[in-house]
Amino acid sequence: MTRATITLKKDSADGDSARHVVVVRELPLIQKLWSDAFVRKTVIILLLALAWEIYGRLLDNPLLFPTLSDTIAAFIDRIGDGILVDRAWTSIKVLLIGYALGIILAAVITILAISTQIGTDFLEVMTAMFNPLPAIALLPLALIWFGLGTTSIVFVLLHSVVWVVALNTQSGFLAVSHTLRMVGRNYELTGLRYVAKILIPAAFPSILTGLKIGWAFAWRTLIAAELVFGVASGQGGLGWFIFENRNLLDIPAVFAGLLTVIIIGLIVENLVFRLIEKKTVRRWGMQG
Q: Restricting to residues 187-206, which ones interact with another protein according to CB under 8 A?
A: 187-189, 193, 197-198, 201-202, 204
Which option in its own copies, another protein, none does residue 36 bind, with CB closer than 5 to 8 A by kind? none
Please state, as a whole number, how many other Cβ atoms lie within 10 Å of the Cβ of residue 78: 23
Looking only at residues 56 through 115 of this chain, which bind its own copies when binding is defined by CB under 8 A? 59, 61, 64-65
231 close to 240: Cβ distance less than 8 angstroms: yes
Which option in another protein, its own copies, none does residue 128 bind, with CB closer than 5 to 8 A by kind? its own copies
Beta bridge partner(s), residue 65: 61
Measure the CA–CA gap between 31 and 198, rounded to whole angstroms: 41
| C-alpha closest to that of 93 among 149, 160, 143, 11 | 149
Q: Which region, judged by CB under 8 A, interacts with its own copies, from 1-9, 10-18, 19-27, 130-138?
A: 130-138
Least distance from C-beta 36 to its own copies, angstroms? 10
Taking phi over 0 as left and psi of -120 to 50 as alpha, with beta for the rest, 78 belongs to alpha
Measure the CA–CA gap between 9 and 18, rounded to whole angstroms: 16
Looking only at residues 19 through 48 of this chain, which bind another protein when binding is defined by CB under 8 A? 19-20, 22-23
Contacts of 14 (CB under 8 A, 6+ apart): none
Looking only at residues 99 through 158 of this chain, which bind another protein when binding is defined by CB under 8 A? 139-140, 143-144, 147-148
Least distance from C-beta 53 to its own copies, angstroms? 15
**Of 99 and 204, CB closest to another protein:** 204
**Of 10 and 178, CB closest to its own copies:** 178
